Structure 1
């Protein structure tokens, strides 16, 4: 008996260490298997194409990676199902990554961002795992492409400039392709606009065979080819016999500054009663370029002589936005008064066409580095002017990005609305984006179709606006809760079944690091709304309110609270009887 107790105690004592050893061995075997598999994957050819021309004064750039992947495993081994992609973030925060395989766009679900614990890198990188459309067999090759949009990462150099001085932005990226696989050959190209650009290598004593550089022109730079680049995913890894990974720095002339949208709140309100779609966009813009040194001079900016400061370097103050061709009641609101003028392009011949119109806003004071501007602008679009889902692009002259109507002839209560997720100038870089879609009161069975995964999506708290109805059934629980009384079950049942007093269902979408170039997609919202019942809610509610107000006024005019006067109807009956006896 004592022996068995002693054995059980020893078993409990050594159970946890044995489990820990088993897990450690399992992890080492898995890492060994992954390392062996990585050694058999080779990047035969890599072409990196950096494009700084798409930003147009905004804080983002693109990078196109064309990779030829070879799987050098012997015949008979298992097929390769995944490819690991390592992207540095020292040259900008990653906004989006679009995968392609054999020149065919692949679903975004095929690219998965690995967590820090899943990747072996300790450097500022993001590691993705791409799943092949069909596994790659041994002794085969396949071409992959990844289109990457990065926000920020460029710093002004120098940090401060005087009005009229040229502005430059500097961005740094690894010279070699960062990958857990060996790269046989790699080239890098960079495209810019204007003049005055330059490129330099860090460190400057990079070996000659690794810094083959050729400059085609002042706007196109080509570096490479680099051969037999070893596998690495640590950009700044240092150790015995290992040098820091060489970097390349681009110094870019950017006259328009580096405007970035800190916050953009977009609200779309659908009204079946008025038959309109109202869209409001609230912007908070910051210029992250070089700060102004010495103060701003209106005379210098207005001077025709460029040597006196009319050069617009470092300034951002003109913003253009596409709006639907059928938009009406276009407005902008700026409480600070910095947005002083607005222009909408000519209404003809684009008024009845699918081409958008352009709203141009210009600030009174241009935005230098560190300066901000806040405003909101919007418009109203009649629902009957939008295209329907039966229209074709060739047959309908209406805006194809905005569609509205019933999707089923057998069920007229089913409606669908398609609208752009984002409407901004083509080079907008947005840190925080929020879209609110306010549906009509009484809408139910709401479904949302998004073009990509977002950080946050929900049908949030309902929106209550002017003339929204409030039924007695929904008002009673509020009165009971105010007095601390419980709400009966039958009241909750009636409240759930009633479409009155529920407010307007509101869809809330939030996403960070949005680039208009890659996120200008359409969103589709499907919901049910009963026609006669929904349309009569507000007129009946308004009529009832007016009737009750008139009835209350009528009662008030016919009543009196005075206790003085000669008329007997102001007195009680017994007082009239006493007066008659006295006479």
Structure 2
């Protein structure tokens, strides 16, 4: 019995020692949360008035439920005074005996006692909207359910807080507590609330009409090949899209769907997707597992090219569609030579310009020209993994340097540009013609030698007998 008591005491002691101790150096004087839930990517903007309890306070903590972490796509913090200067956010070590995950936010300058600073935290969530009801008819509207803690789950005491949930469409129902609560212009306002203790929770839900596309990409593989010899940059994407909305009660009726296009929309379905391409994009293609999809179309102007992808069938809840698309762009549209660093600089967007559609798993592969050296990559944010390897293609001898980047939970906040700088000696630009010329010359040389060789056995025998009989006679 004593041994069991001692073991329990030691385990409790170790858990307390290993637990993250949040210092009581600040408190939150005022906090305003605002949710935007009108797209598949839910955005939360938190304005936090942090007030120091002591001199030299230069950080504070954010807290989130562990089960919510896989749904967080991006998290940035900045002060109200300087929005360009992004504050450093560090994810603390995960605690096994706690259901909370802490993030440390470093302030620009230490605060004096009683001094306050307003910090804005912007968080993007993916796949947290739930279709409700689960089954609908083919022409029914799409409704979703959004749930969240009405109080901000902070490790500090919050003196005053209010929460705004911006819907922008028809609200069917919403939680009426904790009061005060009001609805105005299709938005719901909770609070203000005062003196909220750390870790206070109260889940509220809102059931509303959803007009945007409730879809996400299960996978998006983007491959970019840079060719100096061909003077082109080739872009290719392999995509799998999944509809997250309510499923159909009955079987899909194609005739009813075609008829409905003349007098009403089918709000719960997705019929097309439009991608923004560079203005000089050419050789555009769109194929699926069957072959070329002739219903696709593209439109060009001086500033951009629009690729309209129309799947072979409309997408309803639970349905998927797999396809590949791509295009070529002139080399000078993405690659410039920088004489200061004596390198070529390649620049392109990391992902396609398609708003409000999250990506479960994103893979970016960049294949540089053969012979590229001193390769440096400049990314606007970190990736989950990075790999460098060599790729071999037609007429390659030394191989092409290849960079492979992978990241999960990507949203349109990641639609930024990246750069790769590399040096390419002149002789590598003529390497392929020399290889081709050498190969053709070798064929001619082998042909010349082969035509001049006489390996006939019969002729050797005749010559032998001729000399043999000549010596006899």
Distance in 2 (alpha carbons) for counterparts of 1:169 and 1:231: 30
Whether 1:70 and 2:73 are equivalent positions in the alignment is: no
Whether 1:373 and 2:312 are equivalent positions in the alignment is: no
Are 1:172 and 1:250, in contact at CA under 8 Å, matched by a contact in 2? Answer: yes
For 1:504-525, what per-residue CA distance to the aligned partner results, in whole angstroms no more than 9, with x for missing partners? 0001111111101x11111111
Question: 1:113 maps to what in 2?
Answer: 91
Are 1:102 and 1:143, in contact at CA under 8 Å, matched by a contact in 2? Answer: yes
Counterpart mapping for 1:338-377 below 5 A = 339-345=293-299, 347-348=300-301, 350=302, 355-377=303-325
- Residue 561 of structure 1 and its aligned partner are, at CA, apart by 5.0
Are 2:44 and 2:124, in contact at CA under 8 Å, matched by a contact in 1? Answer: yes
- Residue 467 of structure 1 and its aligned partner are, at CA, apart by 1.8
- Residue 41 of structure 1 and its aligned partner are, at CA, apart by 2.2
Aligned residue among 387, 402, 405 for 2:336: 405
Question: 2:3 maps to what in 1?
Answer: none
Aligned residue among 207, 213, 216 for 2:181: 213
Determine helix, strand or coil for the equivalent of 2:152. coil
Aligned residue among 224, 227, 243 for 1:271: 227
Which runs of no fewer than 5 residues in structure 1 stay unpaired? 1-16, 236-244, 387-401, 470-500
Question: 2:31 maps to what in 1?
Answer: 46
- Residue 288 of structure 1 and its aligned partner are, at CA, apart by 1.6
1:274/1:157 CA distance change after superposition, 3 Å: same
For 1:186-205, what per-residue CA distance to the aligned partner results, in whole angstroms no more than 9, with x for missing partners? 1111122332443225xxxx
Distance in 2 (alpha carbons) for counterparts of 1:126 and 1:519: 23
For 1:369-413, what per-residue CA distance to the aligned partner results, in whole angstroms no more than 9, with x for missing partners? 2211111111111123x2xxxxxxxxxxxxxxx4x222125x64x
1:541/1:258 CA distance change after superposition, 3 Å: same
Distance in 1 (alpha carbons) for counterparts of 2:313 and 2:430: 49
Distance in 2 (alpha carbons) for counterparts of 1:174 and 1:375: 39
Whether 1:466 and 2:394 are equivalent positions in the alignment is: yes
1:28/1:581 CA distance change after superposition, 3 Å: closer
For 1:58-97, what per-residue CA distance to the aligned partner results, in whole angstroms no more than 9, with x for missing partners? x321010011111234xxxx41121101234656700001
Distance in 2 (alpha carbons) for counterparts of 1:363 and 1:161: 22
Q: TM-score, normalised by structure 1?
A: 0.74
Q: TM-score, normalised by structure 2?
A: 0.90
Distance in 2 (alpha carbons) for counterparts of 1:362 and 1:89: 38
Are 2:215 and 2:245, in contact at CA under 8 Å, matched by a contact in 1? Answer: yes
Are 1:164 and 1:306, in contact at CA under 8 Å, matched by a contact in 2? Answer: no
- Residue 29 of structure 1 and its aligned partner are, at CA, apart by 12
Which runs of no fewer than 5 residues in structure 2 stay unpaired? 1-5
- Residue 277 of structure 1 and its aligned partner are, at CA, apart by 1.1
Are 2:216 and 2:241, in contact at CA under 8 Å, matched by a contact in 1? Answer: yes
Counterpart mapping for 1:69-108 below 5 A = 69-73=50-54, 78-88=55-65, 93-105=71-83
Determine helix, strand or coil for the equivalent of 2:313. strand
Whether 1:186 and 2:161 are equivalent positions in the alignment is: yes
Question: 2:204 maps to what in 1?
Answer: 248
1:582/1:458 CA distance change after superposition, 3 Å: same
Larger Rg: 1
Are 1:256 and 1:312, in contact at CA under 8 Å, matched by a contact in 2? Answer: no
Counterpart mapping for 1:419-498 below 5 A = 419-459=348-388, 461-469=389-397
Backbone CA RMSD of aligned residues:
2.8
Are 1:257 and 1:368, in contact at CA under 8 Å, matched by a contact in 2? Answer: no
1:415/1:312 CA distance change after superposition, 3 Å: same
Are 2:87 and 2:107, in contact at CA under 8 Å, matched by a contact in 1? Answer: no
Counterpart mapping for 1:503-518 below 5 A = 503-516=399-412, 518=413
- Residue 581 of structure 1 and its aligned partner are, at CA, apart by 5.8
Question: 1:327 maps to what in 2?
Answer: 281
Distance in 1 (alpha carbons) for counterparts of 2:290 and 2:298: 22
1:338/1:115 CA distance change after superposition, 3 Å: farther
1:437/1:534 CA distance change after superposition, 3 Å: same
Kindly report structure 1 stretches of 4+ aligned residues shifted beyond 6 Å.
Answer: none
Are 1:80 and 1:137, in contact at CA under 8 Å, matched by a contact in 2? Answer: yes
Determine helix, strand or coil for the equivalent of 2:268. coil
Are 2:286 and 2:323, in contact at CA under 8 Å, matched by a contact in 1? Answer: yes
For 1:336-370, what per-residue CA distance to the aligned partner results, in whole angstroms no more than 9, with x for missing partners? 3595522212x34x1xxxx3222110112111122
Counterpart mapping for 1:271-290 below 5 A = 271-290=227-246
Are 1:338 and 1:364, in contact at CA under 8 Å, matched by a contact in 2? Answer: no
For 1:515-544, what per-residue CA distance to the aligned partner results, in whole angstroms no more than 9, with x for missing partners? 01x11111111111112x011100000111
- Residue 295 of structure 1 and its aligned partner are, at CA, apart by 0.9
